[in-house]
């Protein structure tokens, strides 16, 4: 059996525990590793020949935390009703670290690099901490981002070390800190070069470092104050609770659980405090939020980034020279992330002036990266030098991948496709960044439709993590492999979908905006619409989203649909409202400073008061629950239709694409996870009632009726990892 944590002894009687997770680029605490660590702690504690121990890593990363598949297993146990078993397993880490902390021998963390989650908690449980003096190293507790709280004493040790208030952003927001910041805050005692960490750690032990923590000594007081009657503490928890709900809209159970664990635990002795923490941890495991978030945002995301959908048997095909057609914000953003990945870029537009504007954007983004310390000035300069701005199609000659990001007009796209194919080689892959026009339709302009594919980015490209890859009817495996390899190069997360107008993400997300406009046309108060969207877990209200997308672009999409569908096209409320706003009222959206909202010079915004004149408010307003339900259910229905029509082919990609692509309520784990959690039969029943009340668009598809009748779910009833 392969060791994950190796114990060696030096001549001075110090044990060196070296973490080295086999077959992984970063260290994680698997169930086997936890068992090894417990044994080694016991060895150090009971072996009279050992003075203490140094915990370090054979990798540049120290410890990225507990293996998420293990957390998924615990969540599965809790949701199956095996609560006691889940609690006891969860408490093992707390119990082990407390044994290390109180065994009477000093343990020093020689932290080589990244220390997150359980890795950070292991570090906190050590009696002394020395971290690599490298600003790129990050330390923190990201558990809140998967619906959990730190379950290895993090909610108890961190406040006792630095105070309750400074701990809050790290515990409740998952904020990460650099080694220098950690030292200034009092989280770590020293910094050292990576190759000197173990030497310095051993020196501290040999010079008589204490094996007793301050909170185990009489008279200990929490920095900054503690206790339920301390005015500062009371004020903090009252204000913290209010701010937390403002940010989470009551959708995320982890932040209030963290706040409660800190509040209750900081008033108790450590041995009782960690029991409180483990109880709250288990309560979160029982909630479907944690399991769904772990599955979608980490396990499934990791699978997607490993290119699970890549065709087998094809050699890797990294992009060497990339041609980008269109140097607007989208094209320039694609150029930035691609040049950062080391590719040579040809950024082409209709004239040199337009192309140069795109290059200026790349330069600005490179400077921003350097200013924020994410690359040095020399690397930033090299990034810009890899981008050639041009208006000459001949410069595309040697490109092995072309990405078209011109205006959403089939005729314009057909023209640039033909012009590109006159100069590039026969093996060049051509991709369109269109967000709505079917790839099969666009591929008709190509002499090589098998090498034509969709690579759909989201705006802003530099920030948005998802890329939607669309297969046209004739797209071949070579093009798909090339697209996936490219997405991996730029370090984004891909999903693969089949062709459809709007594909998957734009098609499903568009229903949110359309339903918001429908509500507006019915006389529902704009503020009620926007707040109910956020209450349902969406990052913005539907009207604000409409402004960001562009009300004029919505008009263009409606016109394209009408042209394509002819007499079968049915005009909806969204069509009429968008035309009124963009064409008659000249309010095309955020880019013009006016749409459904008014926008100030400093990006401040407020709903346009004139909406009441053009969309009179009804005397009787719907209940907020009904508004929220309409805005969320309409998206769930369209996702289910996409799944039924084989546009999106796996529940994993449907959920991942929804959360990363358009910000669908992350706490649900995604639309199909949400359907499983609420119960498909209940959803179908609700939709039938809503269809009668609001229209046929709420009629559930046959797929859901069949699943409801047969008692089926999109995922296995218990998390897959729970069966491992």
| Domain at 341, CATH number | 3.40.50.720
Supply the pLDDT for residue 568: 57
Task: From 500, 531, 563, give the residue that closes a domain.
Answer: 500
End-to-end CA distance of the chain: 18
pLDDT of residue 567: 62
What's the rounded Cα separation, in Å, for the pair 542 and 513?
A: 5
**Residue 720: pLDDT over 50:** no
Q: How many contiguous H segments (helices) and E segments (strands) does the chain have?
A: 30, 19
Q: Reply yes or no on whether the pLDDT at 81 is more than 70.
A: yes
The residue behind tokens 């039938």 is: 688
**pLDDT at res. 11:** 94
For residues 260 and 352, state if they share a domain. Answer: no
Position 569 scores a pLDDT of 55
pLDDT in tens, 269-324: 999 999 999 999 999 999 999 999 999 999 999 999 999 999 999 999 999 999 99
How far apart, in Å, are the Cα atoms of 595 and each of 359, 428, 519, 539, 709? 29, 41, 17, 18, 45
Which pLDDT does position 721 carry in this prediction?
39
Q: How confident is the model at residue 197 (pLDDT cuts 50, 70, 90)?
A: very high
Is there a single domain that holds both residue 334 and residue 424?
yes
Q: How far is CA 94 from CA 69, 156, 273, in A?
A: 19, 11, 10
**Taking a C-beta distance cutoff of 8 angstroms, is the pair 123, 62 a contact?**
yes
CA dist., res. 626 & res. 639, Å (int): 20
- In the prediction, which pLDDT does 719 show? 45
- Our CA dihedral for 316, 321, 326, 332, rounded to 10 degrees, sits at 90
HSE toward the beta carbon, residue 636, CA cutoff 13 A: 30
Distance CA 480, CA 455 (A): 10
Q: Which of 477, 500, 523 is the last residue of a domain?
A: 500
Question: What 3-state DSSP class applies to 101?
Answer: helix
**Residues 577 and 493 occupy one common structural domain:** no
CATH number at residue 91: 3.90.226.10
Tokens linked to 190: 């020293």
What pLDDT shows up at residue 386?
Answer: 98
Q: How far is CA 112 from CA 35, 119, 120, 159, 503, in A?
A: 22, 11, 12, 24, 44
Whole-number CA gyration radius for the chain: 28
CB 374 within 8 A of CB 138: no
Residue 300 lies in a domain: no
Give 142-178 pLDDT, tens digit per residue. Answer: 999 989 999 999 999 999 999 999 999 999 999 999 9
> What's the mean pLDDT when you consider all of the chain?
93
Predicted confidence (pLDDT) at residue 716 exceeds the cutoff of 50: yes
One-character DSSP codes across 345-358: EEEE-SSHHHHHHH
Distance CA(514)–CA(554), nearest Å, equals 10
Q: Is residue 82 located within the same domain as residue 182?
A: yes
Same domain membership, residue 220 and residue 252: yes
**Dist. CA 112–CA 681, nearest whole Å:** 51
pLDDT band with cut points at 50, 70 and 90 for residue 718: low
453 lies in a domain? yes
> Taking a C-beta distance cutoff of 8 angstroms, is the pair 334, 324 a contact?
yes
Section 407-413 average pLDDT: 93
Which range marks the domain in which residue 153 is found? 5-286
Structurally, how many domains does the chain consist of?
A: 3
Say if 719 falls within a structural domain.
no
- 243 in any annotated domain: yes
pLDDT > 70 in the chain, percent: 96
pLDDT of residue 68 exceeding 90, the answer is: no
Lowest mean pLDDT among 63-77, 177-191, 405-419, 443-457: 63-77
The first and second tokens of residue 145, run together, are: 């981002």
In DSSP terms, which residues pair with 54 in a beta bridge? 16, 108
Cis-peptide into 460, omega within 30 deg: yes
The DSSP result for 517-576, as a single string, is: HHHHHTT--HHHHHHHHHHTT-SS-HHHHHHHH-HHHHHHHHHHHHHHHGGG----HHHH
Model confidence band, residue 553 (pLDDT cutoffs 50, 70, 90): confident
Residue 304 lies in a domain: no
Bridging pattern class, strands 344-348 and 321-325: parallel
* Tokens found for residue 396: 């595309």
674 and 696 together in one domain: yes
Determine contact, residues 433/461, Cβ cutoff 8 Å. no
Q: Report residue 429's pLDDT band, with 50, 70 and 90 as the boundaries.
A: very high
Contact 594, 587 (CB under 8 A): yes
Looking up residue 691, the CATH number of its domain turns out to be 1.10.1040.50
pLDDT digits (tens, 9 = 90+) for 644-684: 999 999 999 999 999 999 999 999 999 999 999 999 999 99
Judge contact between 129 and 123, C-beta under 8 A: yes
pLDDT at 483 over 50: yes
Q: What is the mean pLDDT of residues 583-601?
A: 93
Mean of pLDDT values over 243-265: 86
Which two three-digit tokens encode residue 73? Answer: 């297993």
pLDDT band at 724; cut points 50, 70, 90: very low
Quick check: is 266 catalytic?
no
Q: Is 306 domain-assigned? A: no
Among 62, 100, 97, 108, CA closest to 206: 108
Q: Which of 456, 480, 500 corresponds to the end of one domain?
A: 500
**Contact criterion met (CB below 8 Å) for 503 and 598:** no
Q: Residues 320, 313: contact at Cβ < 8 Å?
A: no
Residue 207 backbone dihedrals phi, psi, to 5 degrees: -90, 10
Share of the chain above pLDDT 90, in %: 85
Structure tokens at 530: 């926007």
Asked whether 509 and 542 are in contact (CB, 8 A), the reply is: no
Going by DSSP bridges, is the β-strand pair 139-140/176-177 parallel, antiparallel, or unpaired?
antiparallel
Q: How far apart are CA 331 and CA 324, in angstroms?
A: 6
Mean pLDDT within 436-443: 95
For strands 139-140 and 190-192, give the pairing: unpaired
pLDDT digits (tens, 9 = 90+) for 624-644: 999 999 999 999 999 999 999
| pLDDT tens per residue across span 605-622 | 999 999 999 999 999 999
Do 226 and 125 lie in one domain? The reply is yes
Same domain, 533 and 587: yes
CA atoms of 327 and 315, how far apart (whole Å): 31
What pLDDT does residue 723 have? 34
User: Residue 571 — pLDDT band, cuts 50, 70, 90?
Assistant: low
Q: What CA–CA distance (Å, rounded) separates 649 from 711? A: 20
| 515 in the same domain as 371 | no
DSSP-H helix ranges across 566-679: 573-579, 611-614, 624-644, 651-662, 671-678
561 assigned to some structural domain: yes
User: What is the rounded distance in angstroms from the CA atom of residue 475 to the CA atom of residue 430?
Assistant: 10
- Supply the pLDDT for residue 603: 76
Taking CA atoms, 603 is separated from 363, 546, 591, 593, in Å, by 23, 16, 11, 9
Residue 284 burial by Cβ neighbours in a 10 Å radius (0-12, 13-18, 19+): buried
Does residue 240 surpass a pLDDT of 90? no
**Cα–Cα distance, 265 to 39 (Å, whole number):** 28
CB 359 within 8 A of CB 347: yes
491 and 511 assigned to the same domain:
no
**For residues 387 and 345, what is the distance between their CA atoms, to the nearest angstrom?**
5
Give CA–CA dist 377/366, Å, rounded. Answer: 9
pTM score of the predicted model: 0.90
Phi, psi of 177 (to 5 degrees): -125, 155
Mean pLDDT for 79-97 is 93
For residue 363, the model assigns a pLDDT of 97
Co-location of 99 and 216 in the same domain = yes
| Residue 6, pLDDT above cutoff 50 | yes
Instruction: Check residue 564 and give its pLDDT.
Output: 64
**Active-site hit among 250, 456, 606, 623:** 456
Residues 216 and 349 in one domain: no
Say how far apart CA 22 and CA 27 lie, in whole Å. 8
Tokens, residue 335 = 């150029």
């Amino acid at each position: 059996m392969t060791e994950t944590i190796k114990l060696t002894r030096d001549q001075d009687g110090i044990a060196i525990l070296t973490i080295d997770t086999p077959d992984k680029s970063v260290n994680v605490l698997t169930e086997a590793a936890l068992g090894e660590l417990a044994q080694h702690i016991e060895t150090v504690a009971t072996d009279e020949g050992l003075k203490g121990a140094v915990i370090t890593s054979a990798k540049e990363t120290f410890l990225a935390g507990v293996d998420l598949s293990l957390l998924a297993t615990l969540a599965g146990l809790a949701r199956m009703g095996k609560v006691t078993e889940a609690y006891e397993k969860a408490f093992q880490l707390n119990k082990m670290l407390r044994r290390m902390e109180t065994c009477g021998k000093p343990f020093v963390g020689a932290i080589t690099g990244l220390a997150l989650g359980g890795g950070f908690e292991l570090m906190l449980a050590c009696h002394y901490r020395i971290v690599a003096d490298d600003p790129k190293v990050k330390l923190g507790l990201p558990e809140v981002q998967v619906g959990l709280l730190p379950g290895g004493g993090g909610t108890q040790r961190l406040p006792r070390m630095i105070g309750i208030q400074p701990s809050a952003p790290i515990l409740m927001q998952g904020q990460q800190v650099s080694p220098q910041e950690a030292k200034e805050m009092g989280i770590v005692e020293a910094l050292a070069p990576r190759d000197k960490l173990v030497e310095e750690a051993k020196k501290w032990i040999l010079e008589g470092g204490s094996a007793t923590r301050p909170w185990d000594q009489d008279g200990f007081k929490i920095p900054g104050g503690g206790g339920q009657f301390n005015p500062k503490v009371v004020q903090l928890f009252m204000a913290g609770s209010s701010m937390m709900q403002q940010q989470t809209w009551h959708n995320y159970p982890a932040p209030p659980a963290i706040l409660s664990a800190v509040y209750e635990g900081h008033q108790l002795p450590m041995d009782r405090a960690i029991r409180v923490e483990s109880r709250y941890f288990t309560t979160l495991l029982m909630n479907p939020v944690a399991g769904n978030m772990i599955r979608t945002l980490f396990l499934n995301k990791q699978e997607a980034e490993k290119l699970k959908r890549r065709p087998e048997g094809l050699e890797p095909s990294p992009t060497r020279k990339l041609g980008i057609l269109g140097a607007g914000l989208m094209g320039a953003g694609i150029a930035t992330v691609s040049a950062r990945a080391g590719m040579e870029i040809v950024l082409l537009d209709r004239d040199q002036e337009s192309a140069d504007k795109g290059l200026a954007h790349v330069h600005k983004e490179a400077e921003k990266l350097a200013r924020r310390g994410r690359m040095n000035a020399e690397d930033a300069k090299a990034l810009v030098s890899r981008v050639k701005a041009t208006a000459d199609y001949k410069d595309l000659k040697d490109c092995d991948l072309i990405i078209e990001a011109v205006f959403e007009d089939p005729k314009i796209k057909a023209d640039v496709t033909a012009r590109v194919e006159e100069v590039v080689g026969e093996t060049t892959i051509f991709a369109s960044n269109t967000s709505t026009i079917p790839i099969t339709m666009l591929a008709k302009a190509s002499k090589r439709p098998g090498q034509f594919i969709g690579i759909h980015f989201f705006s802003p490209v530099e920030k948005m993590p998802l890329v939607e890859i669309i297969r046209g009817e004739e797209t071949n495996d070579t093009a798909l492999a090339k697209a996936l390899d490219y997405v991996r190069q730029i370090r984004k997360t891909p999903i693969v979908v089949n062709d459809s107008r709007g594909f998957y993400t734009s098609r499903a997300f568009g229903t949110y905006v359309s339903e918001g406009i429908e509500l507006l046309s019915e006389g529902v108060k704009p503020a009620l619409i926007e707040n109910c969207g956020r209450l349902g877990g969406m990052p913005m209200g539907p009207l604000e989203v409409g402004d960001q997308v562009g009300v004029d672009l919505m008009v263009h999409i409606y016109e394209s649909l009408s042209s394509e569908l002819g007499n079968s096209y049915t005009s909806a409320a969204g069509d009429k409202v968008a035309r009124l706003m963009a064409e008659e009222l000249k309010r095309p959206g955020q880019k013009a400073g006016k749409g459904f909202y008014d926008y100030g010079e400093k990006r401040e915004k407020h709903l346009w008061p004139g909406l009441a004149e053009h969309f009179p408010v009804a005397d009787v307003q719907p209940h907020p629950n009904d508004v929220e339900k309409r805005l969320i259910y309409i998206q769930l229905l369209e996702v289910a239709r996409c799944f039924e029509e084989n546009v999106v082919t796996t529940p994993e990609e449907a959920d991942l694409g929804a959360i990363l692509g358009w910000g669908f309520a992350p706490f649900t784990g995604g639309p199909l996870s949400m359907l499983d959690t609420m119960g498909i039969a209940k959803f179908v029943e609700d939709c039938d009632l809503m269809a009668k009340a609001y229209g046929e668009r709420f009629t559930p598809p046959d797929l859901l009726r069949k699943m409801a009748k047969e008692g089926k779910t999109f995922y296995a009833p218990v998390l897959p990892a729970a069966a491992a």
